[in-house]
Each structure stands twice: as structure tokens, then as C-alpha cells.
Amino acid sequence: MFIGHFGLALAAKKASPKTSLGTLMLAAGFVDVLWPLFLLLGWERVRVDPGNTVVTALDFQHYPFSHSLLMSFVWAAAFAAVYFGVRRYPRGAVVVGLLVLSHWVLDYLTHRPDLPLLPAGGPVVGLGLWNHLAATLIIEGAIFFTGIWVYLRATQPRDGIGRWGFASLMVLLVVIYLANIFGPPPPGAQAIAVVGMCSLLLFAWPYWVDRHRVVEVR
Ligand SMILES: [Zn+2]
């Protein structure tokens, strides 16, 4: 899942208004941030295999450190602890921890059975929504647009950056998402890892935009 993760991050602004959208998005996508790093280190493996599922050409061969259920709890606890250490905002710490964990749940829904429960050995699971293109677009799109709706009700733009910076970020996410699904498959594992590392820079955008919006008190 891609924009679905960010849909939950957007909606989480309502639950944790003092947390930046940048941090919420980073939490929801955190294990996908670790993943390209672990690919480059050789700890995890991916293979390009067009048709692996209808939606993705990626064969997630081995990714137990970033994507197993058990490690997701570890990353969630670590993310929440660091967040609490820096911000001293208990509510925010709980929300970002849950967002890190939610990543596994949404990936469980979408991936074919390739998601490990444990970092070593144990079964691999996945409900395989990615075998169904229309259902993927509808469900993931619904989560994403619900998230936008909740975020827009929870915050108000302070200026043009808050309004148009936010809108263009959302458009960009949709474009990346559709390009991933309908564009040509990536040339190889190395390219996936490098592009993944570069896309880290994108997280600066929601931090910037969020500072130009105020939380709406209702
Ligand atoms: Zn993932």
C-alpha cells in the first residue's frame, strides 16, 4: 500500500493535533523508509518480477527486519519513544506508535502472502488485495481521500503555502502512486533502493506545509 498509509497519517492529525503532518507521514511510512536502507545494506532482498501481483512488479523476497509483524512492534515502540523524548507529547507518542504499526496491517491487506510474522522463520501472510486492481484503487483511494477530508477539517490554511502547498503535495502523491501502478517496472533492485532513499527528501514537504496551517478548534 502507498497512499493508504498516508491517508491514515492525514486522519491522525485529528487525533494528535500538535504533531506535524511530516512526523505523522514519516511514522505511517516508517518501515518503507527503513526498507531501501536495508536493501542497500544487503540485509533484505527484492526482485523485479512483472505480474507478481496485478498492482506491483515487485517480488518482496526477504524483508523481515523492516516488515515482519514482530519488528513492526519494535519500530513502533522506538519511534514513539524517540518522539516522546523530543516532543514530550504523550498523545502524539501513542498516535505515531500506532501509525508505525498500522503500516503492517495495511500491508497485510494488500500484499500476497509474503509478509513475515517473525524476523526469522515463521509463516508469511497477506490477504492479496494487490491481485485485484479495481478493488485496490477503490479501497486505497477511499482511505486516502477520507484522510484528506479529516485533515482539511482539522486544520485551516494560514496562507498560500498552507493551501496550495498542501494541495500540490496531495496531487504529487497520487501521481507517484499511479505511476508506480501503471508505469513501467523499475529496472532493478538497486534502482528501487536508490529511488527509495531519495524519496526521503519528500518528507520535508509535509513538515513545511503543516507549519502554514493552523489547527481548527471546534
Ligand atoms: Zn510497506
> Each residue of 64-91: pLDDT tens digit?
999 999 999 999 999 999 999 999 999 9
Q: How far is the CA of 106 from the centre of ligand 1 (A)?
A: 8
Say how many Å lie between the first and final Cα of the chain, rounded. Answer: 32
pLDDT band at 19 (very low <50, low <70, confident <90, very high): very high
Q: How far apart are CA 155 and CA 38, in angstroms?
A: 36
Average pLDDT over residues 32-42: 94
Lowest mean pLDDT among 39-43, 148-152, 194-198, 205-209: 194-198
Q: How far is the CA of 186 from the centre of ligand 1 (A)?
A: 17
Residue for cell digits 513545511?
Answer: 208
Each residue of 141-200: pLDDT tens digit? 999 999 999 999 999 999 999 999 999 999 999 999 999 999 999 899 889 899 988 888
Q: How far is the CA of 35 from the centre of ligand 1 (A)?
A: 8
Q: How far is the CA of 154 from the centre of ligand 1 (A)?
A: 27
Q: How far apart are CA 100 and CA 105, in angstroms?
A: 10
Output the CA torsion 36→106→149→205 (10° steps).
-10
Q: How far apart are CA 13 and CA 19, in angstroms?
A: 7
Q: How far apart are CA 136 and CA 117, in angstroms?
A: 23
- Let me know: does 156 contact 217? Beta carbons within 8 Å: no
Who's near 214: CB < 8 A, 6+ residues apart?
A: 155, 156, 158
Residue 1 pLDDT? 80
pTM of the complete model: 0.94
